[in-house]
Amino acid sequence: MLEDRTTAAPSATAWPTAYPQGYAVVDVETTGLARDDRIISAAVYRLNARGEVEDHWYTLVNPQRDPGPVWIHGLTSEVLRDAPLFPEVAEEFAARLDGRVLVAHNAVFDWQMIAREYARAKREAPVRQRLCTIALSKALELPLPNHKLESLAAHFGVVQQRAHHALDDARVLAEAFRPSLLAAAAGGLRLPLHECRPLTEWSDAPAPRIGHQAGPGGYRSAGWRPSRKRPACPYPNPGRYEEGKRLKQGMRVAFSGDTSVERDLLEDRATEAGLHVATSLSRLTSLLVTNDPDSGTSKVVKARQFGTPVVDEAAFGQLLADVEPADATP
């Protein structure tokens, strides 16, 4: 049973009139984190204005390519072979999203993956606003050790049954979102809503061949890509990231602490965007990505000493969506 540790729900007359009238709590599992990666499963819990569950929906999706990190999501090529293609579920998916605020944990990632799938299908997802539960938990100043979904769930007494299964992750998030929403309403907190703009362009690089699994047990954690050793960044370091500006190819990015998605996948996405993923932090580091800037890790301490800019995972995800190309070689 969900243990609600928040303030009692405000009365009907006290409910903020500016709050949305409905939410679609979403989770998608994907073949990876790059622009050309695909959705392989999706789940939606529809909630009313007060965060109460109305219904839920789940589907597998055939990505027509290698399913990626099976050791995380458990969906093999065999499982996905007879699943519908995204255009075949796009209408039902859209019906679940229509007129609602998309709610997700690290929402910019889920939104970008969904928007790209609709762009490929020559359609538009009917989503105008999104709400990230990481941002909401920060606004509520919840005493979480990190920003993983499991930590948010534990705080509200929600039991996870199958981590990285879209339906269970969406259920867990829906149950944790309701007390968060009630706490925000009781405190008169403005919800951290962001505009969702439809994508008109996407990347469809040559897809990996289907079926490169490491036997019946699925993928090894180090073997789902041809090589885990990343190539050297081909671009010169343009210097430090400046707040309010774009990342630029060649910038040195370091990571510290827990992330809501697998670190390897996040680093892969940074590499594919043309950034230099650094294993340590120095005066040359352009940016540190951490969800816990007050921790005492060596990278965080050095970032303070060197004045290295720091952003959280959600902000980094937004920056990755629009990385500036490196200067052309004379």
Name the E strands within the chain. 22-30, 39-48, 53-60, 101-104, 129-132, 193-195, 252-256, 276-278, 287-290, 310-311
Q: How far apart are the first and last CA of the chain?
A: 64
- pLDDT tens string for the chain (330 positions)? 333 344 455 555 478 888 999 999 999 999 887 778 899 999 999 999 999 999 999 999 999 999 988 888 999 999 999 999 999 999 999 999 999 999 999 898 899 899 999 999 999 999 999 999 999 999 999 998 888 899 999 999 999 998 889 999 999 999 999 999 999 999 999 999 999 987 765 555 544 444 333 333 333 333 334 334 677 899 999 999 998 899 999 999 999 987 766 777 788 888 888 999 999 999 999 999 998 888 778 999 999 999 999 998 878 887 887 889 988 654
Tell me the CA distances in angstroms from 315 to 128, 168, 237, 291, one per residue in order. 19, 25, 21, 10
CA distance 205 to 237: 25
Token pair 């009365």 is found at 11
